[in-house]
Amino acid sequence: MINIFIFIISVVLLAVVASLFILKRKRVDHSQVAEILREFLIYAQKEKLNGLIVLEENDNLDQFIVTGHKLEIKAKPLALNQIFDDNSEGNLGAVVIKNNIIVAQNAVVRGAGPNYFNPRQRIAVAVSRFYDALAIEFSHGQIWLFLEGERAQITPDRLFSILTFRSDKKVIRIN
């Protein structure tokens, strides 16, 4: 009888601690970068650019940032156009955006996903599954959003809606 009581108390305490941890995590406001990404991705689709953008949320991605070229550029469509231009080396690694600032280009992010994904998509699956981050992979005119290890093909307008909706601290599903 005492063992059952101790077990129930343990479960309740564990639930309280877990709920406090979950409540501490707040959504990062991506509403400012949402319009910038929408504008850039319209251009990227038209020009059939290839690349991977990772948006840092609550988990620190500094371990990836140090593997690339460190930057401190305000996120703007023109800056992204130059990074991912066919004549630049911007599409060799991930671009990391933190608080609406491009903090890294060509960041090396290790990841493993299903073999039917291209290399950038495998990285995006891993980053979005194991870190509190969103990944946007674009190639050959298609755009994919990766959130919590799930993948969905989206349009620039749908990405804008998702980023502004998430900024309102609402939970969404991307599919």
Q: Which domains are assigned to the chain?
A: 28-167 (3.40.1700.10)
pLDDT tier for residue 145 given thresholds of 50, 70 and 90: very high
The pLDDT of 145-150, averaged and rounded, is 89
Between residues 48 and 108, which one has the greater pLDDT?
Answer: 48
Query: Beta strand 51-56 with 94-98: parallel, antiparallel or unpaired?
Result: parallel
pTM (two decimals): 0.77
CA 165 to chain centre: 15
Query: What do you get for the CA distance between the two ends of the chain, in Å?
Result: 47
Query: Beta strand 133-139 with 51-56: parallel, antiparallel or unpaired?
Result: antiparallel
Structure tokens at 17: 């601690």
Check residue 53 and give its pLDDT. 93
Asked whether the predicted pLDDT for residue 62 surpasses 90, the reply is no
Asked whether the predicted pLDDT for residue 19 surpasses 50, the reply is no
Asked whether the predicted pLDDT for residue 170 surpasses 50, the reply is no
Residue type, 43: Y
Residue type, 57: E
E-only strand ranges, the chain: 51-56, 69-74, 94-98, 101-107, 133-139, 142-147, 150-154
Q: Which of 41-45, 57-61, 171-175 has the highest mean pLDDT?
A: 41-45
What's 59's DSSP letter? Answer: S
Asked whether the predicted pLDDT for residue 160 surpasses 80, the reply is yes
Helices and strands in the chain, H and E counts: 6, 7
